[in-house]
Chains A and B, each alone.
Chain A
């Protein structure tokens, strides 16, 4: 009797286990049901990418810059694209765009259709840009700085400005704002448009080369299927070679590296420490030699210029001179990054850099020089502890911070602290977690922080804005983390001037650029360290013809990060070939 009861109990428990497993499978299985793809995608027709998505695939809203991988570029498209390597705007949904007085006239491409069959119209463009007026919109700036109305006539859209337009910002909008279909989006509420997820996937109606296929929320991948009648095939002869595009949600760089080396990922936009040792054979990068990757942004050492001694520009200069950046490049990064220009401007902006001025005024690594500069400005080591003291004799011990877990940066600040020691500047590395760091940085409580928030783009204006933006608020959320005001309002005035100059006005623009750069070089509102890479490594087992520096027509941005597909990332995908 007892044994039977026990057996029954064991049986019941086994049943519970089996049921929960089945129920879980059911619940998980339900999430992606309804897709029309084969059960398992054929490897030879699928491109696997990773490196962009770190959270669940929740945001299908192209008007929110933190959208899921490919939302802009693969599904929704922009009027223009921008090629940072050739500094050229590529007509995309628009065939032409030009300034007529204070009006920017865009001619829309004919024959472009949404993937539900309806044609793209000027009304769609007007509707999209007008969403910038809604509360919570992330494209609201243009409506507050000159854009006064959008009018349409046939397939021409006119953007009318009052006052001198902010040309530089406007150019950025042209290749950043994705056009959404009015016939669908007009049904959304204002909050849905600005901050909603717009995650009814049946309404993912775009003009791009792919359509949404599967994956949402916690799924590990997001799958797109190639669209059969993409406009660019007919108009420009551009065609996607892969039938399926699968983005892999990152869990850790280590796991991604494993999958990449096992050929489960074709294009990885992850940061892989030590990847320099793997390059060769089937693992390929943009450059064959160091720095292997294109530059995506500048890593700056941001000092808090409201605190002594960092408020003293001579001290900042001595600090900059005492940092052995080459050691960070070789020891920390294995040469996959390169040292930044002393202006901090990216290599793609080289035409705007006043090189003789940068050579003359830029800081160089020079410990003896740093020591001499410190001594000349009254920073002396009077208690013989190996470190200089403040002018009033108090100890200097500056806290230098990076987010916890950003291992390359954590190593970098150790190297920095170690190298400034030689000049007698005491730095103490610390690693608060990301939000804690943002809090310190925004509120001005920090001493020194490394930051690289401003990405490659069409104009160094974004960098000048980043360094000099005024006025200073209690919380500095996006720019001028150094709280730099020591040069008065002049550099900010010049920055605004750059924004109001057309890029085609090269001579006038160069002069202003040069003046602003002089402030960067002389005042060091932030110290440019190195160029962080546009991390991209290719496993060529299944696909080849990835972007490289030397391949014919392959000079494209090899990235699936947000904002890069609408540079030349789309071309990079279209150029791929199957490896036979």
Chain B
């Protein structure tokens, strides 16, 4: 067990190091000087802008050699300092991300967990009933093939714009401010439904298809036939099939996380949802090196941690992994 964990942790740390290094390098490969853009947006008076250029370049430490910027970056990272934002001069990257993160998590976690649970459940049911299989499967195929943005746009157009059932953008009404009261909660929920649905539906389709195919495969496996031949009740057979079918799905979850996170980012942009995705867009548009790094760092950490959790869960769920571990010891 310890060896298994140690090996996993080493791999994760290595991945983290490589990902973070790429994360640092990529923004700097984009054409354009972030300080020029900043000054163009500031509309400072004429002569002042020339001086400001030097001032800002120095204050962002962009005048230092690249290797030093890279070391500074790790130094800051290890001290929990993600640096200053260029797009929003005067704010730190951490405070911007912390402000946006709750919105993204409120979308992402329910969408991932609920679509996984519901998708697997419905997929398993579809595998057993012809009527369901003929209705759910095509729908699921369409859903999973739909890009997140497209579904988001469709929902926004019909539900929010044409039928005016739900608000089209933002995370709450203009008439309320984030606060602890029923008014805000109501407003927050009504704005949350559409972006949540866009994410939920697309991943739901994928899980349902996967589960349906796996269950059919498992039910045709020898152990299932053997159980049936022994006269085991259908429910028991299905339960065993489900337990086995869930394993590849869990691996799938770990793999899909990155895609879902990406989906959440574009969905936020469609709905003007003030989460990390919208922040990322601004960061890219403004060549905000530090903000970009910071956001990617959060995504990297998020995806790695989630994968690690899945790895651990695997040990719990799949007895074979456990036996394997014991064998190693």
Interface members, chain B 122-145 (any A CB < 8 Å): none
Cα–Cα distance between A264 and B110 once the two chains are bound (Å): 30
- Contact of B220 with A by CB under 8 A: no
Question: How many pairs of A and B residues are in contact by the CB < 8 Å rule?
Answer: 231
Taken together as a complex, chains A and B put the C-alpha atoms of A433 and B31 apart, in Å, by 10
Q: Does A195 make an interface contact (CB < 8 A)? A: yes
Query: How distant is A395 from chain B, measured CB to nearest CB, in Å?
Result: 25
Chain A residue at minimum C-beta to C-beta distance from B192: A21
Q: How far is the CB of A436 from chain B (nearest CB, A)?
A: 5
Question: Which residues of the other chain, B, contact A255 by a CB distance below 8 angstroms?
Answer: 168-170, 272
With the chains together, A328 CA to B178 CA distance in Å? 43
Once A17-B114, A20-B110, A135-B55 are accepted as A-B contacts, the answer to whether A258 and B46 lie under 8 Å apart by CB is: no
**A479 contacts B by Cβ under 8 Å:** yes
Number of interface residues of A (CB under 8 A): 87
Per the bound structure, the CA–CA distance linking A139 and B52 in Å amounts to 11
Identify which of residues 12-47 in chain B touch chain A, using a CB-to-CB cut-off of 8 Å.
Answer: 30-34, 36-37, 39-47
Which chain A residues numbered 249 to 269 have a C-beta less than 8 Å away from chain B?
Answer: 249, 251-252, 255, 258-259, 262, 264-265
* Residue of chain A at shortest CB distance from B286: A435
- State in angstroms the CA–CA spacing of A197 and B44 once bound together: 16
A141, A172, A248, A436: the one contacting B48 at CB < 8 Å is A141
> Contact at A436–B113, with CB atoms within 8 Å?
no
Known contacts A56-B88, A477-B53; decide if A453 and B105 are in contact (CB<8 Å): no
The answer to the question of B173 belonging to the interface, with a C-beta cut-off of 8 Å to chain A, is yes
Question: Is A378 interfacial (CB 8 A cutoff)?
Answer: no
Query: Contact: A65 with B43, CB < 8 Å?
Result: yes
A45-59 CB contacts (< 8 Å) to partner B? 46, 48, 55-56, 58-59
Within 8 A of B (CB), among A136-181: 136-141, 144-145, 169, 172
Task: Assign chain B's interface to a size class.
Answer: 35 or more
Q: Which of B47, B110, B279, B285 contacts A218 (CB 8 A)?
A: B279
Residue in B36, B90, B287 whose Cβ sees the most chain A Cβ within 10 Å? B90
Measured between C-beta atoms, what is the minimum distance from A29 to chain B in Å? Answer: 5
Question: Any chain B CB within 8 A of the CB of A473?
Answer: yes
Contact A220 B114 (CB under 8 A): no
Q: Is the CB of B179 within 8 A of A29?
A: yes
Q: Are A31 and B180 in contact (CB under 8 A)?
A: no
A465: B residues at CB distance < 8 A:
46
In the complex, which residues of chain A have a beta carbon less than 8 angstroms from the beta carbon of B239?
A: 2
How far is the CB of A494 from the nearest CB of chain B, in Å? 16
In the bound complex, do residue B105 and residue A264 qualify as a contact, i.e. CB atoms below 8 Å apart? no
Beta-carbon contact of A39 and B184 below 8 Å: yes
Cβ of B36 and Cβ of A439 under 8 Å apart? Answer: yes
Bound complex: CA of A169 vs CA of B100, how far in Å?
A: 40
A61 pairs with B90, CB closer than 8 A:
yes
Is there an interface contact between B40 and A433, defined as CB atoms closer than 8 Å?
A: no
**Chain A residues within 8 Å of B188, by CB:** 25, 28
Contact of A24 among B52, B103, B278 (CB under 8 A): B103
Q: Which residues of chain B come closer than 8 Å to A287, judged between CB atoms?
A: none
> Which of B37, B55, B161, B168 contacts A438 (CB under 8 A)?
B37
Secondary structure dominating the interface of B: helix
Is A217's CB within 8 Å of the partner chain B?
Answer: yes
**CB within 8 Å of A: which of B271-307?**
272, 274, 278-279, 282, 285-287
Q: Chain A 1-20, CB within 8 Å of chain B: the 1/0 string?
A: 01000000010010011001
B residues within 8 A CB of A223? 177
User: Distance (Å) between the CB of B87 and the closest chain A CB?
Assistant: 6
Question: B36 to A137, Cβ gap below 8 A?
Answer: no
Q: Which one, A33, A66, A199, A433, contacts B285 given CB within 8 A? A: A433
A138 contacts B173, C-beta separation under 8 Å: no
- Whether A55 and B109, one on each chain, are in contact in the complex, defined by CB atoms closer than 8 angstroms, is no
Q: Is the CB of A258 within 8 A of B45?
A: no
Contact digits for B244-284, partner A, Cβ 8 Å, 1 yes 0 no: 00000000000000000000000000001010001100100
Contact with B along A184-227 (1 / 0, CB 8 A): 00000000000111010000000000000111011111010000
A246 at the interface (CB under 8 A from B): yes
- Does A377 lie at the interface of the complex (its beta carbon under 8 Å from any beta carbon of B)? no
* Residue ranges of B at the interface with A (Cβ–Cβ < 8 Å): 30-34, 36-37, 39-53, 55-56, 59, 85, 87-91, 95-96, 99-103, 105-106, 109-110, 113-114, 117, 160-161, 164, 168-185, 187-188, 239, 272, 274, 278-279, 282, 285-287
**In whole Å, how far is A68's beta carbon from the nearest beta carbon of chain B?**
11
A-B contact pairs, 14 of them (CB 8 A): A20-B109, A25-B185, A29-B178, A30-B180, A56-B88, A58-B96, A141-B46, A214-B177, A215-B177, A217-B91, A217-B96, A218-B100, A433-B285, A438-B40
- Distance (whole angstroms) from the CB of B57 to the closest CB of chain A: 11
**Chain A residues within an 8 Å CB radius of B184:** 29, 39
Q: Which of B49, B59, B96, B101 contacts A477 (CB 8 A)?
A: B49
A239 within 8 A of B: no
Are A435 and B287 in contact, with the CB atoms below 8 A?
yes
CB distance from A254 to the nearest CB of B (A): 9
Say whether A278 faces chain B, with CB atoms less than 8 Å apart: no
Smallest Cβ distance from B9 to chain A, in angstroms?
A: 23
CB contacts (< 8 Å) of B31 on chain A: these are 432, 435-436, 439
B42 in contact with A66 (CB, 8 Å): yes
Q: Which of A40, A136, A138, A453 lies in contact with B183, CB distance below 8 A? A: A40
User: Which residues of chain A from 401 to 417 have a CB within 8 Å of any chain B CB?
Assistant: none
